[in-house]
Amino acid sequence: MLELFTEFFRQLAEDHPRWNFIFFYEPRQWERIVKGFKYTLWLSVACVIFSVIIGVVGAWLQNSPSKFLRRCVQGYIQFFRNTPPFVQLLFFYFALGQFTPAVTGPDGWTEIPIISNVGWAIISLSFFAGAFNVEIFRSGIEAVPESTQEAASSLGFSRFQTYTEVVMPLAFRVSLPALNNNLVNLVKTTTQAIGIAVPELLYQCVTIWNDFPSAMYPTMLLLFVTFIALVGVLVFGMHRWERAMKIPGYGH
Amino acid sequence: MSNNSWSPDQPIVSIKDVHKSFGDLEVLKGITFDVMKGEVICIIGPSGSGKSTLIRCINALNDINSGSITVEGLEVHDPKLDKLELRKKVGMVFQQYNLFPHKTALQNVMMAPIKVLKQDKAEVEQRARALMAQVNLQGKEDSYPGELSGGQQQRVAIARSLAMNPDVMLFDEVTAALDPETVKEVLVAIKDLAQSGMTCMLVTHEMGFAREIADHIYFTDRGVIVEHGPPSTFFTEASDPRTREFLSQIL
């Protein structure tokens, strides 16, 4: 079966030189794709989780009584929202990366920075998407009536309990559609990690078509299909979640 | 401010010369009165006379500019006050019910005792079901607020406050947002509560109801108490022209 499959694409490449799906019949190229996909998946999952955490915490701090904290969050949002994510990535890796300590590698003479390029990509992309998530959650929080929060405090809820038990669950529901959009963008933006040589899917694909120019169209096609699938899974999950969180009789 | 200094023969709520401004607008201009344990008092008056503000000051939802409010000897506006201590003593029901829309009726009632008082869940649930029955809402335990009528939501809100076992209940125009036909079911629930000996303070426009259940009625206008007295004399022998004018428009 697999034999037939590889044979088909080998033949296709011979008949049509522009459609060389080399990764379907040459194990070495296939391994590159799999490795790249794993990195893309890892970047996506880690950045989605961290950026949502940053969003929740940031929105909480934005309502903090401390003016200083509120200013800090505001500054953070302004910086990360108003500068290109690719520039941020380069800045984190090349500028900040210089100041992080390095440890000596297993061979005894190379210096390995404690935050790798993958680490910096996750940090940079999470902060980038997190800035938008703060704004998304803030608008959700503002949709929760002040009077509902007063009811919570009159029942003895602390500020933190009111936030976790009442404000966040309601704000989250309101925020989900906008959050959905931002996370979709985030997953697609992970391809920019190629700029600091993170071996994710785009990086691997470019490597393949540099080695085999005849494989350029197929690899591009593969990129599109993979991201459509990846984002499709995310959107499907988010919609399921949205439906599961729907409150009977609420918001009509 | 020690709680121990209070004994039940002293006023449970004591309001002394309370002033409160929002910006330049002074809404309370020296309010003074006491409420004894088990008393039911109604505060009436035209819109904007400061009734709601006053009742919100009692459980520290609003702060005050000067004067003092104590609840069972607790200085409500002492910055060092543990708000939780106050909120355990004072329950409040709002005009807009303000239920938690993402929780069922029963969960609304159970939430504060479990999360705030850290009480045992099974025991709280039992009490919550009894409270739901007390406000005549058996069978609605698993409904979400959005699936209930205004009157039903307001009764859940009453049960939710009672679940904290408060000593004083504040009602802030709790029937003002309701359809006329559902007003009665809420008033019945409040009346039952008042007759069971709960100390109640109500801001209301329901004059007939005030007359029926209040031990004492306070009429406020433009931030001061213009007139007060037991309902037996208040409605018939009001002497101040402002009170008479208000009553003539309402009754």
Q: Are B159 and B171 in contact (CB under 8 A)?
A: no
Residue A114: pLDDT band by 50, 70, 90 thresholds?
Answer: confident
The CA-CA-CA angle for residues B27, B28, B31, to 5°, reads 165
Structure tokens at B249: 């428009």
For residue A149, give the CATH number of its domain.
1.10.3720.10
DSSP-assigned beta bridge partners for residue B225:
B220
Cα nearest neighbour of B93 on chain A: A151
Contact A42, A117 (CB under 8 A): no
When CB atoms are compared, the residue of A145, A156, A249 closest to B87 is A156
Q: Is B144 on the interface with A (CB under 8 A)?
A: yes
Full residue range of the structural domain in which residue A198 is found: 38-95+113-244
Per-residue pLDDT tens digits of chain B, which is 251 residues long = 445 578 888 999 999 999 999 999 999 999 999 999 999 999 999 888 889 999 999 999 999 999 999 999 999 999 999 999 999 999 999 999 999 999 999 999 999 999 999 999 999 999 999 999 999 999 999 999 999 999 999 999 999 999 999 999 999 999 988 988 889 999 999 999 999 999 999 999 888 899 999 999 999 999 999 999 999 888 888 888 888 888 888 76
Report how far residue A222's alpha carbon sits from residue B184's, in angstroms, rounded to the nearest whole number: 68
How many CB contacts within 8 angstroms connect chain A with chain B? 77
A145 vs B238: which has the higher pLDDT: A145
CB contact (8 A) between residue A249 and residue B112: no
Cβ contact A154–B59 (<8 Å): yes
Summarised one tens digit per residue, pLDDT across range A46-97 is: 999 999 999 999 999 998 889 999 999 999 999 999 999 999 999 999 998 8
Interface test with A, best of B74, B110, B115, B167 (most A CBs within 10 A): B115
Out of A161, A250, A252, name the one closest to residue B115 (CB).
A161
β-bridge partners, B178 = none
Q: Which of A157, A173, A251 sits opposite B115 (nearest CB)?
A: A157
Nearest chain B Cα distance for residue A177, angstroms = 18
Question: Model confidence over A157-168: pLDDT tens digits?
Answer: 998 999 999 999
Q: Token pair of A155, please?
A: 């029942």
Q: Decide if A153 and B101 are in contact by the 8 Å CB cutoff.
A: no
Q: Helix B121-134 vs helix B150-162: angle between axes, to the nearest 10 degrees?
A: 130
Sign of the dihedral through C-alpha A13, A17, A23, A26:
positive
Q: What is the pLDDT of residue B180?
A: 86
Task: Decide if A22 is inside a domain.
Answer: no
The beta strand positions in A107-249, using DSSP E, are 111-113
Which chain B residue lies closest to A244 (C-alpha atoms)? B102
Three-state secondary structure call for residue B36: coil
**Which contiguous run of DSSP H or E holds residue B134?**
helix B121-134
What is the per-residue DSSP string for A16-62?
A: -TT---GGGT-HHHHHHHHHHHHHHHHHHHHHHHHHHHHHHHHHHHH
d(CA B93, CA B109): 13
CA distance B198 to B167: 7
Distance CA A37, CA A26 (A): 17
> What does the pLDDT read at residue B249?
80
B156 neighbors B135 (Cβ within 8 angstroms) = yes
d(CA B152, CA B147): 10
Checking if the pLDDT of A141 tops 90, the result is yes
Are B50 and B220 spatial neighbours (Cβ–Cβ below 8 Å)? yes
Residue B53 in tokens: 């503000």
- Whether residue B88 and residue A156 make contact (CB cut-off 8 A), yes or no, is yes
Domain count, chain A: 1
- Backbone dihedral angles phi then psi of residue B221, each to the nearest 5 degrees: -150, 135
Q: Give the pLDDT confidence score for residue B88 in this predicted structure.
A: 94
> What b/e sequence results for A16-35 when a residue is b if at least 16 CB atoms lie within 10 Å of its CB, and e otherwise?
eeeebbbbbbbeebeebbee
Residues of B in contact with A153 (CB under 8 A): 61, 83, 87
Spell out the domain ranges in chain B: 3-250
**CB contact residues (below 8 A), chain B span 57-86, against chain A:** 59, 61, 83-84
Contact A147 B83 (CB under 8 A): no
Q: Between chains, do B102 and A154 touch, taking CB under 8 Å as contact?
A: no
Closest chain A residue by Cα to residue B143: A248
* CA distance linking residue A219 with residue A210, whole number of Å: 11
Contact call for A154 and B90, based on CB within 8 A: yes
Domain B3-250 fold is Rossmann fold (3.40.50)
DSSP 8-class letter at B238: -
Per-residue pLDDT of A171-189, as tens digits, reads 999 999 999 999 999 999 9
B55 Cα distance to chain centroid: 7
CA nearest neighbour of B195 among B89, B90, B38:
B38
Handedness of CA B96, B100, B102, B103 (dihedral sign): negative
In degrees and rounded to multiples of 5, residue B116 shows phi and psi of: -90, -45
User: Is residue A3 included in any domain, yes or no?
Assistant: no
Q: Is B74 helix (H, G, I), strand (E, B) or coil?
A: strand
d(CA B124, CA B105): 14
Q: Write down the pLDDT at residue B1.
A: 47
The answer to whether residue A251 scores a pLDDT higher than 80 is: no
The pair of structure tokens assigned to A17 is 């030189």
